[in-house]
Chain A
Amino acid sequence: MKGYLQLNVEIFYWLLIGPWKKQPLKLSHAFTQMLRIGVDALPMAALTAFSIGLTIGMQGAHELQRMGATMYVPGMVSISLLRELAPLLIAIIVIGRSGSAITAELGTMKVAEEIEALGAMAVNPIRFLIVPRFVAMMIMLPVLTVFGNYIGIVGGWTICHFALDMHTATFVMRTIEAAKLDDLYSGLTKSVVFAWLVVTIACHAGLKVEGGAEGVGMATTHSVVYSMLAILVANAVLTACFFFF
């Protein structure tokens, strides 16, 4: 835990103080990571969000049809996606795809003495390797979440339009009526917290690798498991905060 907190302090030091000491973040490295974490994950995030939007639409329609209340399906889809499902499921996709990759890459670098070599060249590994990944994750996970929100709502529209014969304009009106900006903001707040947890847990696990391939494998497993647990607990805490306050 001490090492994890120290990593967080060092990340914020290099992010906020580093530029004043003429050692700023390498923007090209951050852009490369943004491509890997964000742009390359778009197809997977889209498929996940569309499937979830479609599923909520079908499940909602199934129950609400019996009460003649299918007009509430768009609101149900949009609110559940904006507040809860898009931030959570996109974060789970990113943990499996990028969190594990970050841990495995850093772990392999540690085993291959690459991180020690950086230190020997007076290049701080936190500034050079971790800060670009941190910045990329903090930007791209919320971006992916917004993207997931829209794709998920399209999934809900697909059911409403083709199965319930709802006009597109009606769907849009019902969605706008039901979902508030606060719903979007609460989901985005969650995605920012999830991004911080995922990237710091992944980087910490990667930097702590000892031994060879076995150590990298174990660290990657730990990174995925702890990230999942952390975001589920954080999700419950944040939902409680939004619910009570």
Chain B
Amino acid sequence: MATSLIPTDIPMASPDTGPVLEVRDLVKNLGGRTILNGISFQVLRGETLIIMGGSGCGKSTLLRHLIGSLKPDAGSIRIFGEETTDIDERKMDCIRGRFGVLFQSGALLQSLTVGENVALPIQEHSRVDDTIVDLVIKMKLEMVGLTGFEDLKPAEISGGMKKRVALARALALDPELLFSDEPTSGLDPVMTAVVDKLTQDLTRKLGMTAVVVTHDMTSAFRIATRMIMLGTGPLQGKIIAEGTPQQIRSNPDPMLQQFIKGEADGPIPLRLSKGDYLKRLLGEAHP
């Protein structure tokens, strides 16, 4: 696994000395709403950064900016030292060849088998022999506990298994940086622990960097070296807390504490207050 499949059509950049990922003052408005409002953070080599926050706070939108699927209205994103917000697609593809992406839905190609999905990035970016590709498929599927599933179509496996195949595909080229959107959703507790252990091994032993969007606090505290939380409501699109797992646990911010403890009552505005509810329900008739 330590031997990287070096893509033949993606030139390797010069050795990076700065942060692997650096985001500065990122702003995005969609449909008249500010989704990201001045987001800034950086990730160093070997770190695992957890991005957390309530539903609709902009986590997945932020991830889409990082992988180059969306362009920000303002701000800067530097990956491996290269500015990606105004880069042309050819150069962006060079950078994409050095990172892997695990989508929230898995995003496996339904027309291909599990094995063909994992093989896709290898076949597209390297000129290795088919026997080596088969070997790598077996290795990657073994890593996520799916040995023997190569010939099944995505429609024939469960949601959790699809997620694991997608993780195997994201790791197919031994990326230097892994972006994961909800990597453990739909997985049973044992498989969640296996995926967490895999992320830890890749980051701590092999120096891979990981940026993980998750709601799963157990998993987040297990793998994180640093965490950021995005706000909702009036703090929509802003980072409301940042630090190591210990700093996050001891942060007195009630919104943060409500989120990490998973409590129904607290300052995170999910439901209307009784007065607002009656006013909205009864309109002018409300005394």
Q: Is A121 an interface residue (CB 8 A)?
A: yes
B124 adjacent to A122 (CB under 8 Å): yes
Q: Is B55 an interface residue (CB 8 A)?
A: no
B101 adjacent to A120 (CB under 8 Å): yes
A120 adjacent to B96 (CB under 8 Å): yes
Q: How far is the CA of A108 from the CA of B10 in the complex (A)?
A: 29
Q: How far is the CA of A119 from the CA of B67 in the complex (A)?
A: 9
Interfacial residues of chain A within 92-129, with CB under 8 A of chain B in the complex:
105, 108-109, 112-114, 116-124, 128
Stretch at the interface among B21-29, B44-52, B105-113, B270-278: B105-113
Interfacial residues of chain B within 111-144, with CB under 8 A of chain A in the complex:
111, 120-121, 124-125
Q: Is B69 an interface residue (CB 8 A)?
A: yes
The A contact surface, by secondary structure, is helix
B120 adjacent to A116 (CB under 8 Å): no
Quick one: closest A residue to B94, CB to CB?
A122
Quick one: closest A residue to B10, CB to CB?
A122
- With a cutoff of 8 Å between Cβ atoms, the chain A residues found around residue B125 in the complex are 122
Interface centre among B10, B107, B120 (most CB of A within 10 A): B107
Quick one: closest A residue to B96, CB to CB?
A122
Q: Is B93 an interface residue (CB 8 A)?
A: yes
Q: Is B9 an interface residue (CB 8 A)?
A: yes
Least Cβ–Cβ distance between B45 and chain A, in angstroms: 21
Given known contacts A113-B105, A113-B107, A114-B108, A123 and B124 CB-to-CB distance under 8 angstroms: yes
Q: How far is the CA of A108 from the CA of B103 in the complex (A)?
A: 16
Interface contact tally, CB-CB below 8 A: 55
Quick one: closest A residue to B166, CB to CB?
A117
Interface residues on A, range: 10 to 19
Q: Is B97 an interface residue (CB 8 A)?
A: yes
Contact with A along B65-92 (1 / 0, CB 8 A): 0011100000000000000000000000
Q: How far is the CA of A109 from the CA of B110 in the complex (A)?
A: 8
Given known contacts A112-B110, A116-B69, A121 and B103 CB-to-CB distance under 8 angstroms: no
Q: Is A170 an interface residue (CB 8 A)?
A: no
Interface residues on B, range: 20 to 34
Q: Is A168 an interface residue (CB 8 A)?
A: no
A117 adjacent to B107 (CB under 8 Å): yes
A117 adjacent to B121 (CB under 8 Å): no
Q: How far is the CA of A75 from the CA of B120 in the complex (A)?
A: 53
Q: Is A59 an interface residue (CB 8 A)?
A: no
Least Cβ–Cβ distance between B270 and chain A, in angstroms: 24
Interfacial residues of chain B within 156-186, with CB under 8 A of chain A in the complex:
169
B105 adjacent to A112 (CB under 8 Å): yes
Q: Of B96, B101, B110, B124, which one neighbours A114 at CB under 8 angstroms?
A: B110
A122 adjacent to B97 (CB under 8 Å): yes
A121 adjacent to B109 (CB under 8 Å): no
Given known contacts A112-B107, A113-B105, A121 and B69 CB-to-CB distance under 8 angstroms: no
- With a cutoff of 8 Å between Cβ atoms, the chain B residues found around residue A119 in the complex are 68-69, 96
Q: How far is the CA of A117 from the CA of B103 in the complex (A)?
A: 7
Least Cβ–Cβ distance between A26 and chain B, in angstroms: 9
A123 adjacent to B120 (CB under 8 Å): yes
- With a cutoff of 8 Å between Cβ atoms, the chain B residues found around residue A116 in the complex are 64, 69, 103, 107
A113 adjacent to B124 (CB under 8 Å): no
- With a cutoff of 8 Å between Cβ atoms, the chain A residues found around residue B96 in the complex are 119-122
- With a cutoff of 8 Å between Cβ atoms, the chain A residues found around residue B107 in the complex are 112-114, 116-117
Given known contacts A117-B103, A121-B120, A23 and B9 CB-to-CB distance under 8 angstroms: yes
Q: How far is the CA of A22 from the CA of B103 in the complex (A)?
A: 28
Q: How far is the CA of A116 from the CA of B102 in the complex (A)?
A: 11
Q: How far is the CA of A113 from the CA of B154 in the complex (A)?
A: 14
Enumerate the 10 nearest inter-chain pairs by beta-carbon distance, A residue then B residue, closest first: A117-B107, A122-B96, A122-B93, A113-B107, A120-B101, A121-B121, A122-B97, A120-B67, A123-B124, A113-B103
- 29 A-B pairs (CB sep. < 8 Å): A22-B9, A23-B9, A105-B111, A108-B110, A109-B110, A112-B105, A112-B110, A113-B103, A113-B104, A113-B105, A114-B107, A114-B110, A116-B64, A116-B103, A117-B103, A117-B107, A117-B109, A119-B96, A120-B101, A120-B103, A121-B96, A121-B120, A121-B169, A122-B10, A122-B93, A122-B94, A122-B124, A123-B120, A124-B93
Supply 11 further A-B pairs (C-beta < 8 A) apart from A109-B110, A120-B101. A105-B111, A109-B109, A116-B69, A116-B103, A117-B101, A117-B109, A118-B109, A120-B96, A121-B101, A121-B124, A123-B121
